[in-house]
Structure 1
Amino acid sequence: MTERWILWFVIAVLLVAVVVMSMLFVRRLRVMDRTAAVRTRERDQHFAELTEQHSREREHTVEEHRRQLAALEEEHQGAVQRADAFRLAASPPIKEDLVSRALILDSCRSLGLHGVLATNVQFLAAGGHPDKPFVAQLDHVLLTDSFAMIIENKYWKQLVFDGRLPSTVSPAFGPILDEKPLEKSFAVQVCTGRRRDQNRPSSNSDEDELLVRTHTNDSSPRSQVRRHAVQLKDRLVADDIRRPWFWTCVLYSHPRVELHVEPQPPVPEGKATRVLSGAAALRSHL
């Protein structure tokens, strides 16, 4: 009898142990499930954060790429516009430049002057708007060891009155020239030429006649060369280049020009714009 009770007691203990072990195992499984769930949520959250970060970085990269493309396109358009401006400005009559260039070079050689003569000098004027660049054009820039000079060439023929009223040369010019608009800075050319008359037949439309061309204020040759000197000075300053003092000169280079100009007394260096015609006057000035 005692042995039977002992057997049942052992069996009961074993059953209790099994139940306790099962409960502990189930609890451990639940803890493991919760831990796995937490890790899964953390992993999913980290993945979501990485995905969001990648998306932001990609959007930033795309936006930066788009901005760079827009900047390059704007720069390209600006370069195209500047090139177009240069092409438009690069169309002065080359014959006139070559004639005056040869005259200047011959004068320098005869005087033994050594230097550099740059012809048809073109550059972007400083301070212009990037969308509408302005190209300045200088006929000649003469650089020597002792001076620098900007020369405005005018290939005008026959009568030219630069700064001098035509009536002071001859009263005969009074009836054909209105001198009232003429101010301090002006130039008047009187010549014969052909003017196209569209109301006449083509065979008789080209006729020689008296032509009067008046240039006042900013359009006068003296004003032009002074303006060019200022533009070149500003360009050199903008590029941080040491600039020399520029003399200015207007040269009428046509071999058949008759120039009338007010007497030009000696003045300090670079303080006035000289108006010249012919090789002798140019050599005397140089």
Structure 2
Amino acid sequence: MAGVVELTYYPIKGCAGTSADEAPLTPAGLAHDRSFLVVNEEGVGRTQRRDPGLALVRPTVSADGGRLTLQAPGFETLDLRVDTAGDRRKVEVLGTVHQGIDQGEEAADWFTEVLGAPSRLVRVPPEHDRVTDGRIPGTSAYADSCALHVVSRATLGLLHRKLAERGLPPLPMDRFRPNIVVDGWDEPHTEDRAHRIRIGDTEIGYAKLAIRCAVTMVDQGTGAKAGPEPLRTLAEYRRATEGGVAYGTKYAVLRPGTLSVGDTVTVTSWGESEL
């Protein structure tokens, strides 16, 4: 029987995740997931593609979302009151313009020092009405696309076998920054074909395959690029027809509720893999 073995949300896009035993599932994904964004002077969102040092920033959001704590090795901890009512400004995520609420000078100075480049921190506004793409549309905060990213342990196990054939060590699951990790599926990439899933009192629907980028080559523990793996190995057996390599699956939220580690994962509708 398949079940949830890991739940992780990422309060600030590109920064370290927070593991949870239980988490509310909102229409935009796990509560607080990618609700903050670090931007440059022009308002363009920073990601690990160009700023791998983001991986070393460990944000913590209070349960009510009212406070944000920032930690990074070698820097003082910063505790902030989250502003949800300030002036809006334009911000850009992967070429798409959204709105953000600037979180003030303390946050800006802290990220500028940590990243060594002028930066500011913004939060998604309450009226954020983004519509995501994919087979089933949904919404999300500042995620690359859909609300949820799901990967199974069987899928990671296959990659480990492929790496071992090259004489290479295994890679941790955090290289792929999933929200939900499922164990109990025998076949790797079962998530490609699981088109509707019931977990606890929630339901999620297949949107699209996750096309991977250079972030998978960043060591999440050190914040250093450590390529060319896993992209080199994945390119041998997971090439997508539209280009790039596919690993993991993106889902939209069909019914919000609460997710818990240990919840049974029940597939209620199957489909063909798009790979």
TM-score for the superposition, normalised by structure 2: 0.23
Q: Which has the larger radius of gyration?
A: 1
TM-score for the superposition, normalised by structure 1: 0.22
Relative to total residues, which structure has the larger helix share, 1 or 2? Answer: 1
